[in-house]
Chain A
Amino acid sequence: MTIETLLIIPIILSIIMIIFRFKIINRICIIINAILFIVAPVLYYFNKEFIKPFNWLLKYFSIDALSFLFFSVMAVVNFGISFYTIFYFKSKDYSNKHDTLFSVLYLLFLICMTGVILSSHLAITWIFIEATTLTGTLLIYLEKEKSSLEAAWKYIFISSIGVSFAYVGIILLSMGNKSGDSLFFVNLYKNAANFTPLWLKLSFAFILVGFGTKVGLAPVHAWLPDAHSEASSPISALFSGTLLNAALIGILKFYKIMINAQMESYAKILLLSMGFLSLLVSAVFVLKVKNYKRMLAYSSIENMGIIVIGIGLGSTGFFASLYHLTAHSLSKSSMFLTTGNIYHHYHSKKINEVKGLLSTDKISGWIWIFSFIAISGFPPFPAFMSKFMLIETFFKKGLSSLAVPFFLFLIIILFGMGKTVFLMSAGSGNAVKNKNLNIFAYIPQVFYLALLLIIGTVLPDFIKKIIQSAADFF
Chain B
Amino acid sequence: MTNILIILFGLTMLHVFSTTRIEAYIKTLTLQGFLLFLMILLEIKKLLLINFIYLGIETLIFKTIIIPIFLFNVVRKNEIKREVEPYISHLYSLIIASLIFVFGFVISLWLLKIENEIKHLYFGISISMIISGLFLIITRKKIITHILCYMMIENGIFLLSLSIAKEMPLLVNLGILLDIFVGIYLFLLFFNKIQTAYDQDHIDVLTGLKD
Contact = CB atoms under 8 A, between A and B. Distances in A.
A221 to B, nearest CB: 12
A64 interface: no
B144 interface: no
A134 interface: yes
Contact of B175 (A127, A133, A157, A198): A127
Nearest to A295: B211
A153 B206 contact: yes
Given A123-B168, A146-B197, A226-B209, A156 B187 contact: yes
B161 A149 contact: no
Contact of B176 (A123, A147, A174): A123
Interface in A283-300: 285, 288-291, 294
Interface string B146-174: 10001001100100110010101101100
Contact of A161 (B150, B168, B175): B150
Contacts of A175: 118, 164
A130 B179 contact: yes
Interface stretch (A163-171, A246-254, A362-370): A163-171
Given A121-B172, A147-B208, A290-B211, A161 B153 contact: yes
Contacts of A146: 197-198, 208
A131 B186 CA distance: 12
A168 B157 contact: yes
Nearest to A287: B211
Contacts of A285: 211
Nearest to A137: B186
Given A146-B198, A156-B183, A290-B211, A124 B164 contact: no
Contact of A149 (B160, B182, B190): B190
Contacts of B150: 157, 160-161, 164
Contacts of B187: 156-157, 160
B115 interface: yes
Nearest to A289: B211
Interface in A265-318: 285, 288-291, 294
Contacts of A123: 168, 172, 175-176
B194 interface: yes
B130 interface: yes
Interface in A403-454: none
Contacts of A152: 190
Nearest to B143: A153
B209 A156 contact: no
Contact of B209 (A131, A137, A161, A229): A229
Contact of B172 (A124, A150, A160, A177): A124
Interface residues of A, number: 49
A126 B166 contact: no
A151 B157 contact: no
A289 B168 CA distance: 45
B48 interface: no
Interface in A108-149: 121, 123-124, 126-127, 130-131, 133-134, 137-138, 141, 146-147, 149
Given A153-B206, A198-B114, A289-B211, A126 B176 contact: yes
A199 interface: yes
B111 interface: yes
A225 interface: yes
Contacts of A150: 206, 208-209
A11 interface: no
A58 interface: yes
Contacts of B198: 146
A58 B171 contact: yes
A236 to B, nearest CB: 14
Contact of A127 (B164, B166, B179, B206): B179
B154 A294 contact: no
A175 to B, nearest CB: 6
A126 B158 CA distance: 15
A124 B146 CA distance: 27
Given A146-B198, A156-B187, A171 B161 contact: yes
A171 B167 CA distance: 10
A262 interface: no
B206 A134 contact: no
B193 interface: yes
A10 to B, nearest CB: 18
Interface in B136-150: 137, 143, 146, 150
A181 B115 CA distance: 18
Interface in B52-101: none
Given A156-B183, A175-B118, 8 more contacts: A126-B176, A134-B182, A146-B197, A146-B198, A160-B183, A160-B187, A164-B150, A171-B161
